[in-house]
Structure 1
Amino acid sequence: MKHHLFTPPGQQALEAVMQRRPLLAFDFDGTLAPIVTRPDDARVAIGVAHRLEQLAEHLPVAIVTGRRVDDVAPRLGFDPHYIIGNHGAEDPEQPALPPEVYIALTDKLNALRLKIETSAEALASAGIQVEDKRHSLAFHYRLARDRDAALVTIETLLRGLDPALASFGGKCVVNVVAADAPDKGDAVAMLVARSKSDAAMFVGDDLNDESVFESAQPHWLTVRIGRDDPLSRARFYLDTHSEVATMLQKMLALLR
Protein backbone atom coordinates (compact mmCIF):
# COMPACT_ATOMS: atom_id res chain seq x y z
CA MET A 1 0.00 0.00 0.00
CA LYS A 2 1.46 3.33 -1.03
CA HIS A 3 -1.39 5.80 -1.39
CA HIS A 4 -4.59 6.77 0.31
CA LEU A 5 -7.50 6.19 -2.05
CA PHE A 6 -8.46 9.88 -1.92
CA THR A 7 -5.14 11.05 -3.42
CA PRO A 8 -4.74 11.79 -7.16
CA PRO A 9 -3.29 8.29 -7.87
CA GLY A 10 -6.18 6.72 -5.97
CA GLN A 11 -8.76 8.80 -7.79
CA GLN A 12 -7.22 7.82 -11.13
CA ALA A 13 -7.32 4.13 -10.17
CA LEU A 14 -10.94 4.45 -9.04
CA GLU A 15 -11.94 6.15 -12.30
CA ALA A 16 -10.14 3.49 -14.34
CA VAL A 17 -11.79 0.53 -12.64
CA MET A 18 -15.26 2.09 -12.66
CA GLN A 19 -14.99 2.56 -16.43
CA ARG A 20 -14.67 -1.22 -16.68
CA ARG A 21 -18.07 -1.77 -14.99
CA PRO A 22 -16.52 -4.00 -12.31
CA LEU A 23 -17.82 -6.44 -9.76
CA LEU A 24 -17.90 -4.52 -6.46
CA ALA A 25 -17.00 -6.81 -3.55
CA PHE A 26 -16.78 -5.91 0.12
CA ASP A 27 -15.84 -7.52 3.40
CA PHE A 28 -18.32 -6.89 6.24
CA ASP A 29 -16.77 -6.51 9.71
CA GLY A 30 -14.38 -3.59 9.86
CA THR A 31 -15.24 -2.59 6.30
CA LEU A 32 -18.95 -1.97 5.77
CA ALA A 33 -19.65 -2.18 9.51
CA PRO A 34 -17.41 -1.07 12.37
CA ILE A 35 -15.65 -3.56 14.59
CA VAL A 36 -17.79 -3.76 17.72
CA THR A 37 -17.32 -5.37 21.12
CA ARG A 38 -20.14 -7.83 20.51
CA PRO A 39 -20.32 -9.23 16.94
CA ASP A 40 -24.11 -9.54 17.19
CA ASP A 41 -24.34 -5.74 17.33
CA ALA A 42 -22.68 -5.17 13.94
CA ARG A 43 -24.82 -3.46 11.30
CA VAL A 44 -24.27 -1.45 8.13
CA ALA A 45 -25.14 2.20 8.66
CA ILE A 46 -28.23 3.41 6.81
CA GLY A 47 -26.28 5.87 4.66
CA VAL A 48 -23.78 3.23 3.58
CA ALA A 49 -26.56 0.72 2.85
CA HIS A 50 -28.40 3.30 0.73
CA ARG A 51 -25.30 4.02 -1.35
CA LEU A 52 -24.65 0.32 -1.84
CA GLU A 53 -28.25 -0.17 -2.93
CA GLN A 54 -27.80 2.58 -5.51
CA LEU A 55 -24.59 1.03 -6.80
CA ALA A 56 -26.31 -2.36 -7.04
CA GLU A 57 -28.78 -0.86 -9.52
CA HIS A 58 -25.91 -0.44 -11.97
CA LEU A 59 -23.19 -2.95 -11.08
CA PRO A 60 -22.96 -6.42 -9.49
CA VAL A 61 -22.35 -6.06 -5.75
CA ALA A 62 -21.05 -8.86 -3.53
CA ILE A 63 -20.40 -9.35 0.17
CA VAL A 64 -17.50 -11.72 0.87
CA THR A 65 -17.24 -12.31 4.61
CA GLY A 66 -16.02 -14.64 7.30
CA ARG A 67 -19.53 -14.75 8.76
CA ARG A 68 -22.18 -17.26 7.78
CA VAL A 69 -24.41 -16.11 4.94
CA ASP A 70 -27.57 -16.31 7.05
CA ASP A 71 -25.84 -14.31 9.78
CA VAL A 72 -24.64 -11.41 7.64
CA ALA A 73 -27.63 -11.00 5.29
CA PRO A 74 -30.00 -9.34 7.82
CA ARG A 75 -27.25 -6.92 8.89
CA LEU A 76 -26.72 -5.31 5.47
CA GLY A 77 -29.79 -3.14 4.99
CA PHE A 78 -29.86 -3.88 1.25
CA ASP A 79 -29.87 -6.90 -1.06
CA PRO A 80 -26.56 -7.53 -2.83
CA HIS A 81 -26.38 -9.75 -5.89
CA TYR A 82 -24.09 -12.23 -4.13
CA ILE A 83 -23.15 -13.16 -0.56
CA ILE A 84 -20.24 -15.52 0.06
CA GLY A 85 -19.64 -16.62 3.65
CA ASN A 86 -17.15 -18.55 5.77
CA HIS A 87 -14.08 -16.85 4.28
CA GLY A 88 -15.01 -18.03 0.77
CA ALA A 89 -16.17 -21.57 1.53
CA GLU A 90 -19.94 -20.94 1.70
CA ASP A 91 -21.74 -20.11 -1.55
CA PRO A 92 -25.48 -20.77 -1.22
CA GLU A 93 -26.38 -20.03 -4.83
CA GLN A 94 -23.81 -22.13 -6.61
CA PRO A 95 -21.47 -24.11 -4.37
CA ALA A 96 -17.92 -23.99 -5.61
CA LEU A 97 -17.53 -27.64 -4.64
CA PRO A 98 -19.87 -30.66 -4.86
CA PRO A 99 -22.00 -31.36 -1.74
CA GLU A 100 -19.96 -34.41 -0.82
CA VAL A 101 -16.79 -32.30 -0.79
CA TYR A 102 -18.41 -29.73 1.50
CA ILE A 103 -19.46 -32.55 3.84
CA ALA A 104 -15.86 -33.72 3.89
CA LEU A 105 -14.72 -30.19 4.71
CA THR A 106 -17.02 -29.90 7.71
CA ASP A 107 -16.19 -33.42 8.86
CA LYS A 108 -12.53 -32.42 9.09
CA LEU A 109 -13.54 -30.05 11.86
CA ASN A 110 -15.28 -32.70 13.97
CA ALA A 111 -12.20 -33.79 15.91
CA LEU A 112 -11.54 -30.18 16.84
CA ARG A 113 -15.18 -29.75 17.85
CA LEU A 114 -14.76 -32.66 20.28
CA LYS A 115 -11.60 -31.09 21.65
CA ILE A 116 -13.48 -27.83 22.18
CA GLU A 117 -16.19 -29.65 24.13
CA THR A 118 -13.66 -31.16 26.51
CA SER A 119 -11.95 -27.77 26.94
CA ALA A 120 -15.14 -25.72 27.28
CA GLU A 121 -14.49 -24.71 30.90
CA ALA A 122 -10.94 -23.51 30.23
CA LEU A 123 -12.04 -21.56 27.15
CA ALA A 124 -14.89 -19.88 29.03
CA SER A 125 -12.60 -19.01 31.96
CA ALA A 126 -10.21 -17.31 29.53
CA GLY A 127 -13.04 -15.22 28.08
CA ILE A 128 -13.03 -17.03 24.73
CA GLN A 129 -16.21 -17.47 22.73
CA VAL A 130 -16.27 -20.26 20.15
CA GLU A 131 -18.44 -19.76 17.07
CA ASP A 132 -19.21 -22.82 14.96
CA LYS A 133 -20.05 -21.69 11.43
CA ARG A 134 -20.19 -25.23 10.02
CA HIS A 135 -17.56 -24.56 7.36
CA SER A 136 -15.22 -22.91 9.86
CA LEU A 137 -14.67 -22.33 13.56
CA ALA A 138 -13.88 -18.97 15.14
CA PHE A 139 -12.31 -18.36 18.56
CA HIS A 140 -13.24 -14.81 19.63
CA TYR A 141 -11.26 -13.24 22.47
CA ARG A 142 -12.16 -9.53 22.21
CA LEU A 143 -14.07 -9.73 25.52
CA ALA A 144 -11.25 -11.51 27.40
CA ARG A 145 -9.84 -9.64 30.39
CA ASP A 146 -6.33 -10.71 29.35
CA ARG A 147 -6.21 -11.02 25.57
CA ASP A 148 -2.62 -12.23 25.50
CA ALA A 149 -3.46 -15.06 27.89
CA ALA A 150 -6.57 -15.90 25.89
CA LEU A 151 -4.53 -16.13 22.70
CA VAL A 152 -2.09 -18.49 24.42
CA THR A 153 -5.05 -20.66 25.49
CA ILE A 154 -6.27 -20.84 21.88
CA GLU A 155 -2.80 -21.60 20.53
CA THR A 156 -2.39 -24.37 23.10
CA LEU A 157 -5.73 -25.89 22.09
CA LEU A 158 -4.73 -25.81 18.41
CA ARG A 159 -1.26 -27.24 18.98
CA GLY A 160 -0.78 -30.29 16.77
CA LEU A 161 -3.67 -29.23 14.54
CA ASP A 162 -4.67 -31.80 11.93
CA PRO A 163 -2.75 -31.01 8.69
CA ALA A 164 -6.12 -31.13 6.92
CA LEU A 165 -7.01 -27.93 8.81
CA ALA A 166 -5.54 -24.44 8.66
CA SER A 167 -5.69 -21.62 11.19
CA PHE A 168 -5.23 -17.89 10.72
CA GLY A 169 -5.61 -14.88 12.94
CA GLY A 170 -7.64 -11.72 12.69
CA LYS A 171 -8.74 -8.85 14.89
CA CYS A 172 -9.15 -10.59 18.27
CA VAL A 173 -10.13 -13.84 16.57
CA VAL A 174 -8.48 -17.06 15.44
CA ASN A 175 -10.16 -18.93 12.61
CA VAL A 176 -9.88 -22.60 11.67
CA VAL A 177 -10.92 -23.91 8.25
CA ALA A 178 -10.24 -26.91 6.09
CA ALA A 179 -6.84 -26.39 4.48
CA ASP A 180 -8.25 -26.99 1.01
CA ALA A 181 -11.39 -24.88 1.41
CA PRO A 182 -11.88 -21.98 -1.05
CA ASP A 183 -10.68 -18.65 0.32
CA LYS A 184 -11.81 -15.10 -0.38
CA GLY A 185 -9.42 -14.81 -3.33
CA ASP A 186 -11.02 -17.86 -4.91
CA ALA A 187 -14.48 -16.46 -4.19
CA VAL A 188 -13.90 -13.06 -5.79
CA ALA A 189 -12.31 -14.60 -8.89
CA MET A 190 -15.30 -16.93 -9.20
CA LEU A 191 -17.75 -14.04 -8.85
CA VAL A 192 -15.97 -12.03 -11.55
CA ALA A 193 -16.49 -14.94 -13.91
CA ARG A 194 -20.07 -15.59 -12.78
CA SER A 195 -21.10 -11.95 -13.17
CA LYS A 196 -19.25 -11.70 -16.50
CA SER A 197 -17.40 -8.65 -15.20
CA ASP A 198 -14.22 -7.34 -16.77
CA ALA A 199 -12.67 -6.37 -13.44
CA ALA A 200 -13.24 -6.24 -9.70
CA MET A 201 -12.96 -3.79 -6.88
CA PHE A 202 -12.50 -5.33 -3.45
CA VAL A 203 -12.41 -3.61 -0.06
CA GLY A 204 -11.36 -5.42 3.12
CA ASP A 205 -9.57 -4.85 6.39
CA ASP A 206 -8.10 -8.04 7.79
CA LEU A 207 -5.71 -10.91 7.26
CA ASN A 208 -8.28 -13.11 5.54
CA ASP A 209 -8.73 -10.41 2.89
CA GLU A 210 -5.10 -10.68 1.82
CA SER A 211 -5.90 -13.68 -0.39
CA VAL A 212 -7.86 -11.25 -2.60
CA PHE A 213 -5.19 -8.55 -2.45
CA GLU A 214 -2.47 -11.04 -3.39
CA SER A 215 -4.34 -12.70 -6.27
CA ALA A 216 -5.93 -9.56 -7.77
CA GLN A 217 -5.35 -8.93 -11.46
CA PRO A 218 -3.36 -5.77 -12.33
CA HIS A 219 -6.45 -3.96 -13.59
CA TRP A 220 -8.47 -4.67 -10.42
CA LEU A 221 -8.64 -2.18 -7.57
CA THR A 222 -7.97 -3.37 -4.02
CA VAL A 223 -8.42 -1.20 -0.93
CA ARG A 224 -7.54 -1.95 2.69
CA ILE A 225 -9.22 -0.29 5.64
CA GLY A 226 -6.40 0.89 7.91
CA ARG A 227 -2.69 1.24 7.38
CA ASP A 228 -1.66 -0.92 10.35
CA ASP A 229 -0.20 -3.67 8.14
CA PRO A 230 2.68 -2.33 6.02
CA LEU A 231 3.03 -5.74 4.36
CA SER A 232 -0.52 -5.75 2.98
CA ARG A 233 -0.73 -6.33 -0.77
CA ALA A 234 -3.70 -3.97 -1.22
CA ARG A 235 -2.95 -1.20 -3.72
CA PHE A 236 -4.60 1.61 -1.74
CA TYR A 237 -5.92 2.22 1.74
CA LEU A 238 -8.52 4.17 3.70
CA ASP A 239 -7.74 5.22 7.25
CA THR A 240 -10.97 3.94 8.84
CA HIS A 241 -14.22 2.30 7.83
CA SER A 242 -15.90 5.72 8.32
CA GLU A 243 -14.37 6.78 4.97
CA VAL A 244 -16.24 4.03 3.13
CA ALA A 245 -19.36 6.19 2.75
CA THR A 246 -17.31 8.90 1.01
CA MET A 247 -15.71 6.29 -1.26
CA LEU A 248 -19.13 4.93 -2.25
CA GLN A 249 -20.34 8.46 -2.98
CA LYS A 250 -17.35 9.04 -5.27
CA MET A 251 -18.16 5.77 -7.06
CA LEU A 252 -21.75 6.86 -7.60
CA ALA A 253 -20.57 10.20 -8.97
CA LEU A 254 -18.35 8.40 -11.47
CA LEU A 255 -21.31 6.31 -12.64
CA ARG A 256 -23.29 9.47 -13.29
Structure 2
Amino acid sequence: MVQKREALELPSALEQLDELKEQFKGKTPAIFLDYDGCLTPIVQRPEMAILSDEMRSALQDLATVTKVAVVSGRDRRNVEELVKLDNLYFAGSHGFDITGPGGMASEPGGAKAALPALDKAEDVLQEKLKGVEGSLVERKRYAIAVHYRNVADDEVVQVRKVVDEVLDTMPELKIGHGKKIYELKPNIDWHKGKAVMWLMEELGLDDSKYIPLYIGDDITDEDAFAELQGKGIGVLVGEHDEKTAATYRLERVDDVRVFLEDLTDTIKQKSNG
Protein backbone atom coordinates (compact mmCIF):
# COMPACT_ATOMS: atom_id res chain seq x y z
CA MET A 1 0.00 0.00 0.00
CA VAL A 2 1.51 3.32 -1.10
CA GLN A 3 1.66 5.89 1.69
CA LYS A 4 0.91 9.52 0.75
CA ARG A 5 1.16 12.77 2.69
CA GLU A 6 0.71 16.47 2.14
CA ALA A 7 3.90 17.96 0.70
CA LEU A 8 4.33 20.39 3.59
CA GLU A 9 4.36 17.47 6.06
CA LEU A 10 7.53 16.05 4.52
CA PRO A 11 10.86 16.61 6.29
CA SER A 12 13.40 18.80 4.48
CA ALA A 13 16.05 16.77 2.65
CA LEU A 14 18.60 19.47 3.49
CA GLU A 15 17.66 19.93 7.14
CA GLN A 16 17.51 16.15 7.67
CA LEU A 17 20.55 15.24 5.56
CA ASP A 18 22.10 12.97 8.17
CA GLU A 19 18.83 11.08 8.64
CA LEU A 20 18.41 10.75 4.88
CA LYS A 21 21.93 9.40 4.42
CA GLU A 22 21.29 6.80 7.14
CA GLN A 23 18.85 5.22 4.69
CA PHE A 24 21.69 4.56 2.25
CA LYS A 25 22.76 1.75 4.62
CA GLY A 26 26.24 1.68 3.14
CA LYS A 27 24.92 1.69 -0.44
CA THR A 28 25.69 4.20 -3.19
CA PRO A 29 22.69 6.27 -4.30
CA ALA A 30 21.88 6.12 -8.02
CA ILE A 31 20.31 9.47 -8.89
CA PHE A 32 17.23 10.00 -11.05
CA LEU A 33 15.85 13.49 -11.67
CA ASP A 34 13.03 15.20 -13.50
CA TYR A 35 14.02 18.24 -15.60
CA ASP A 36 11.36 20.97 -15.44
CA GLY A 37 10.74 22.29 -11.94
CA CYS A 38 13.61 20.21 -10.59
CA LEU A 39 16.75 21.12 -12.54
CA THR A 40 15.24 24.37 -13.87
CA PRO A 41 12.42 26.56 -12.54
CA ILE A 42 8.94 26.24 -14.09
CA VAL A 43 8.63 28.84 -16.88
CA GLN A 44 5.92 30.16 -19.20
CA ARG A 45 7.02 28.17 -22.27
CA PRO A 46 9.01 24.88 -22.48
CA GLU A 47 11.83 26.35 -24.58
CA MET A 48 12.57 28.91 -21.84
CA ALA A 49 13.68 26.25 -19.32
CA ILE A 50 17.45 26.66 -19.67
CA LEU A 51 19.83 24.73 -17.40
CA SER A 52 22.18 26.97 -15.42
CA ASP A 53 25.95 26.47 -15.63
CA GLU A 54 26.01 25.79 -11.88
CA MET A 55 23.40 23.02 -12.14
CA ARG A 56 25.14 21.49 -15.17
CA SER A 57 28.41 21.45 -13.24
CA ALA A 58 26.72 19.80 -10.25
CA LEU A 59 25.26 17.09 -12.50
CA GLN A 60 28.55 16.51 -14.28
CA ASP A 61 30.45 16.13 -11.01
CA LEU A 62 27.83 13.79 -9.58
CA ALA A 63 27.98 11.60 -12.69
CA THR A 64 31.70 11.01 -12.09
CA VAL A 65 30.91 9.15 -8.85
CA THR A 66 27.56 7.42 -9.54
CA LYS A 67 24.94 6.80 -12.21
CA VAL A 68 22.76 9.84 -12.98
CA ALA A 69 19.65 9.82 -15.17
CA VAL A 70 17.26 12.58 -16.21
CA VAL A 71 13.74 11.13 -16.41
CA SER A 72 11.50 13.63 -18.16
CA GLY A 73 8.16 14.00 -19.85
CA ARG A 74 10.01 15.95 -22.51
CA ASP A 75 11.10 14.38 -25.74
CA ARG A 76 14.36 12.57 -25.09
CA ARG A 77 16.29 14.43 -27.81
CA ASN A 78 15.05 17.73 -26.44
CA VAL A 79 16.16 17.09 -22.86
CA GLU A 80 19.55 15.80 -24.08
CA GLU A 81 20.07 19.06 -25.98
CA LEU A 82 19.12 21.11 -22.93
CA VAL A 83 21.41 19.26 -20.50
CA LYS A 84 24.39 18.91 -22.86
CA LEU A 85 26.20 16.21 -20.84
CA ASP A 86 27.29 12.91 -22.35
CA ASN A 87 27.96 11.10 -19.07
CA LEU A 88 24.27 11.02 -18.07
CA TYR A 89 21.39 8.72 -19.00
CA PHE A 90 18.23 10.21 -20.49
CA ALA A 91 14.72 8.79 -20.31
CA GLY A 92 12.34 10.88 -22.40
CA SER A 93 8.56 10.74 -22.88
CA HIS A 94 8.13 9.44 -19.30
CA GLY A 95 10.60 6.62 -19.89
CA PHE A 96 9.46 5.25 -23.26
CA ASP A 97 12.71 6.39 -24.94
CA ILE A 98 16.03 5.83 -23.11
CA THR A 99 19.65 6.49 -24.11
CA GLY A 100 22.96 6.71 -22.30
CA PRO A 101 26.74 6.34 -22.39
CA GLY A 102 28.27 3.43 -24.25
CA GLY A 103 25.67 3.54 -26.99
CA MET A 104 22.68 2.60 -24.83
CA ALA A 105 19.47 3.10 -26.81
CA SER A 106 16.19 1.42 -25.94
CA GLU A 107 12.44 1.96 -26.10
CA PRO A 108 11.42 -0.43 -23.33
CA GLY A 109 7.77 0.51 -22.84
CA GLY A 110 6.47 -0.96 -26.10
CA ALA A 111 4.95 2.33 -27.28
CA LYS A 112 5.69 2.09 -31.00
CA ALA A 113 2.23 0.68 -31.66
CA ALA A 114 0.72 3.96 -30.44
CA LEU A 115 2.61 6.18 -32.91
CA PRO A 116 -0.18 6.30 -35.55
CA ALA A 117 -2.71 7.34 -32.90
CA LEU A 118 -0.34 10.02 -31.59
CA ASP A 119 0.18 11.35 -35.12
CA LYS A 120 -3.57 11.56 -35.69
CA ALA A 121 -4.24 13.09 -32.26
CA GLU A 122 -1.63 15.76 -32.86
CA ASP A 123 -3.33 16.87 -36.08
CA VAL A 124 -6.78 16.97 -34.46
CA LEU A 125 -5.55 18.88 -31.39
CA GLN A 126 -3.70 21.46 -33.49
CA GLU A 127 -6.84 22.06 -35.55
CA LYS A 128 -9.34 22.19 -32.68
CA LEU A 129 -7.20 24.33 -30.36
CA LYS A 130 -5.92 26.86 -32.87
CA GLY A 131 -8.69 29.26 -31.78
CA VAL A 132 -7.83 29.00 -28.05
CA GLU A 133 -5.38 31.79 -27.35
CA GLY A 134 -2.36 30.80 -25.26
CA SER A 135 -2.77 27.05 -25.82
CA LEU A 136 0.23 25.09 -27.02
CA VAL A 137 0.29 21.58 -28.48
CA GLU A 138 3.79 20.14 -28.05
CA ARG A 139 4.53 16.84 -29.80
CA LYS A 140 7.10 14.48 -28.37
CA ARG A 141 7.98 11.08 -29.80
CA TYR A 142 5.69 9.19 -27.45
CA ALA A 143 3.45 11.87 -25.99
CA ILE A 144 1.57 15.07 -26.77
CA ALA A 145 1.59 17.83 -24.15
CA VAL A 146 -1.30 20.29 -24.31
CA HIS A 147 -0.13 23.33 -22.34
CA TYR A 148 -2.72 25.70 -20.88
CA ARG A 149 -0.57 27.83 -18.55
CA ASN A 150 -1.13 30.86 -20.78
CA VAL A 151 -4.83 30.18 -21.48
CA ALA A 152 -7.50 32.40 -19.89
CA ASP A 153 -9.14 30.70 -16.90
CA ASP A 154 -12.57 30.64 -18.54
CA GLU A 155 -11.17 28.83 -21.60
CA VAL A 156 -9.32 26.02 -19.79
CA VAL A 157 -12.55 24.00 -19.75
CA GLN A 158 -12.61 24.18 -23.56
CA VAL A 159 -9.06 22.82 -23.73
CA ARG A 160 -10.03 19.88 -21.52
CA LYS A 161 -13.16 19.28 -23.60
CA VAL A 162 -11.09 19.01 -26.79
CA VAL A 163 -8.60 16.66 -25.10
CA ASP A 164 -11.44 14.44 -23.86
CA GLU A 165 -13.03 14.36 -27.33
CA VAL A 166 -9.76 13.15 -28.84
CA LEU A 167 -9.26 10.50 -26.15
CA ASP A 168 -12.84 9.24 -26.59
CA THR A 169 -12.04 8.28 -30.17
CA MET A 170 -8.58 6.85 -29.51
CA PRO A 171 -8.44 4.00 -26.98
CA GLU A 172 -4.71 3.60 -27.77
CA LEU A 173 -4.09 6.77 -25.73
CA LYS A 174 -4.67 7.88 -22.14
CA ILE A 175 -4.45 11.17 -20.28
CA GLY A 176 -1.69 12.23 -17.92
CA HIS A 177 -1.73 15.31 -15.71
CA GLY A 178 1.03 17.79 -14.90
CA LYS A 179 1.50 21.41 -13.92
CA LYS A 180 -0.80 23.30 -16.32
CA ILE A 181 -0.70 20.55 -18.95
CA TYR A 182 -2.80 17.67 -20.15
CA GLU A 183 -0.73 14.94 -21.69
CA LEU A 184 -1.82 12.27 -24.14
CA LYS A 185 0.31 9.14 -23.72
CA PRO A 186 0.24 5.55 -24.97
CA ASN A 187 -2.34 3.55 -23.03
CA ILE A 188 0.31 1.19 -21.69
CA ASP A 189 1.30 0.24 -18.14
CA TRP A 190 4.60 2.11 -18.26
CA HIS A 191 5.69 5.24 -16.41
CA LYS A 192 8.65 7.01 -14.82
CA GLY A 193 8.78 4.56 -11.92
CA LYS A 194 9.01 1.54 -14.21
CA ALA A 195 11.67 3.35 -16.26
CA VAL A 196 13.75 3.91 -13.11
CA MET A 197 13.58 0.24 -12.14
CA TRP A 198 14.36 -0.81 -15.75
CA LEU A 199 17.48 1.38 -15.67
CA MET A 200 18.54 -0.01 -12.29
CA GLU A 201 18.38 -3.54 -13.72
CA GLU A 202 19.83 -2.67 -17.13
CA LEU A 203 22.83 -0.90 -15.56
CA GLY A 204 23.46 -3.73 -13.13
CA LEU A 205 22.80 -1.55 -10.08
CA ASP A 206 22.26 -4.41 -7.68
CA ASP A 207 20.19 -3.51 -4.60
CA SER A 208 22.93 -4.87 -2.36
CA LYS A 209 25.22 -2.05 -3.51
CA TYR A 210 22.96 0.71 -4.85
CA ILE A 211 19.82 2.52 -3.75
CA PRO A 212 17.68 4.56 -6.17
CA LEU A 213 17.03 8.19 -5.23
CA TYR A 214 14.48 10.09 -7.31
CA ILE A 215 13.98 13.87 -7.31
CA GLY A 216 10.95 15.41 -9.00
CA ASP A 217 8.33 18.11 -8.65
CA ASP A 218 5.26 17.09 -10.63
CA ILE A 219 2.28 14.75 -10.46
CA THR A 220 3.95 12.60 -13.15
CA ASP A 221 6.82 12.00 -10.73
CA GLU A 222 4.45 10.38 -8.25
CA ASP A 223 4.69 7.12 -10.20
CA ALA A 224 8.41 7.06 -9.42
CA PHE A 225 7.92 8.03 -5.77
CA ALA A 226 5.32 5.25 -5.36
CA GLU A 227 7.53 2.70 -7.13
CA LEU A 228 10.46 3.52 -4.83
CA GLN A 229 8.63 3.22 -1.52
CA GLY A 230 10.43 0.46 0.35
CA LYS A 231 13.12 0.29 -2.35
CA GLY A 232 14.63 3.78 -2.40
CA ILE A 233 14.12 7.46 -1.57
CA GLY A 234 11.81 10.01 -3.16
CA VAL A 235 12.39 13.76 -2.87
CA LEU A 236 9.66 16.20 -3.92
CA VAL A 237 10.67 19.69 -5.07
CA GLY A 238 8.12 22.30 -4.02
CA GLU A 239 4.56 20.97 -4.13
CA HIS A 240 1.74 20.14 -6.53
CA ASP A 241 -2.04 19.74 -6.24
CA GLU A 242 -2.11 16.23 -4.78
CA LYS A 243 -0.73 14.29 -1.84
CA THR A 244 2.72 12.81 -2.44
CA ALA A 245 4.41 9.43 -2.05
CA ALA A 246 7.81 11.12 -1.62
CA THR A 247 9.66 10.82 1.67
CA TYR A 248 11.54 14.14 1.74
CA ARG A 249 11.11 17.59 0.28
CA LEU A 250 13.26 20.36 -1.17
CA GLU A 251 11.86 23.87 -1.41
CA ARG A 252 13.27 25.09 -4.72
CA VAL A 253 15.62 24.37 -7.64
CA ASP A 254 18.60 26.00 -5.90
CA ASP A 255 18.15 23.54 -3.03
CA VAL A 256 18.34 20.68 -5.53
CA ARG A 257 21.77 21.89 -6.66
CA VAL A 258 23.03 22.15 -3.06
CA PHE A 259 21.65 18.68 -2.33
CA LEU A 260 23.37 17.18 -5.40
CA GLU A 261 26.68 18.78 -4.48
CA ASP A 262 26.44 17.30 -0.99
CA LEU A 263 25.64 13.87 -2.42
CA THR A 264 28.73 14.08 -4.61
CA ASP A 265 30.91 14.88 -1.60
CA THR A 266 29.31 12.09 0.43
CA ILE A 267 29.93 9.47 -2.28
CA LYS A 268 33.52 10.66 -2.76
CA GLN A 269 34.19 10.38 0.97
CA LYS A 270 32.71 6.87 1.00
CA SER A 271 34.90 5.75 -1.90
CA ASN A 272 38.00 7.30 -0.32
CA GLY A 273 37.26 5.90 3.10
TM-score (norm 1): 0.89
* 1:77 Cα deviation after fit: 4.1
What is the correspondence of 1:35-54 to structure 2 with a 5 Å cutoff? 35-54=42-61
8 Å Cα contact 2:129-2:159 kept in structure 1: no
What is the correspondence of 1:19-38 to structure 2 with a 5 Å cutoff? 19-38=26-45
Query: CA distance change for structure 1 residues 192 and 217 in 2, over 3 Å: closer, same or farther?
Result: farther
Query: CA distance change for structure 1 residues 18 and 151 in 2, over 3 Å: closer, same or farther?
Result: farther
Q: Where does residue 160 of structure 2 map in the other structure?
A: 155
Q: Where does residue 186 of structure 2 map in the other structure?
A: 178
Structure 2: runs of 5 or more not aligned: 100-104
Question: Is the deviation greater in 217-226 or in 63-72?
Answer: 217-226
* 1:84 Cα deviation after fit: 0.5
Q: Secondary structure at the match of 2:97?
A: coil
- For 2:137 and 2:242, locate their aligned partners in 1 and report how far apart those are by CA, in whole Å: 30
TM-score (norm 2): 0.84
Query: CA distance change for structure 1 residues 164 and 49 in 2, over 3 Å: closer, same or farther?
Result: same
| Structure 1 counterpart of 2:133, one-letter code | A
* 1:63 aligned residue (56, 62, 70): 70
* 1:115 aligned residue (124, 132, 152): 124
| Structure 2 counterpart of 1:106, one-letter code | L
* 1:143 Cα deviation after fit: 2.4
* 1:75 aligned residue (77, 82, 88): 82
8 Å Cα contact 2:65-2:264 kept in structure 1: no
- For 1:83 and 1:188, locate their aligned partners in 2 and report how far apart those are by CA, in whole Å: 11
- For 1:82 and 1:44, locate their aligned partners in 2 and report how far apart those are by CA, in whole Å: 16
* 1:230 Cα deviation after fit: 5.8
Question: Is the deviation greater in 57-66 or in 219-228?
Answer: 219-228
Query: CA distance change for structure 1 residues 230 and 4 in 2, over 3 Å: closer, same or farther?
Result: farther
Question: Is the deviation greater in 161-170 or in 111-120?
Answer: 111-120
Q: Secondary structure at the match of 2:39?
A: coil
8 Å Cα contact 1:25-1:62 kept in structure 2: yes
What is the correspondence of 1:1-256 to structure 2 with a 5 Å cutoff? 1=5, 2-8=10-16, 10-17=17-24, 19-92=26-99, 93-97=105-109, 101-122=110-131, 125-144=132-151, 146=152, 148-160=153-165, 161=167, 162-180=170-188, 182-197=190-205, 198=207, 199-229=211-241, 231-255=243-267, 256=269
Query: CA distance change for structure 1 residues 230 and 11 in 2, over 3 Å: closer, same or farther?
Result: farther
- For 1:60 and 1:129, locate their aligned partners in 2 and report how far apart those are by CA, in whole Å: 34
8 Å Cα contact 2:219-2:242 kept in structure 1: no
* 1:126 Cα deviation after fit: 2.8
Amino-acid identity (%): 26
* 1:249 Cα deviation after fit: 1.9
Q: How large is the RMSD of aligned CA atoms in angstroms?
A: 2.0
| Structure 1 counterpart of 2:157, one-letter code | V
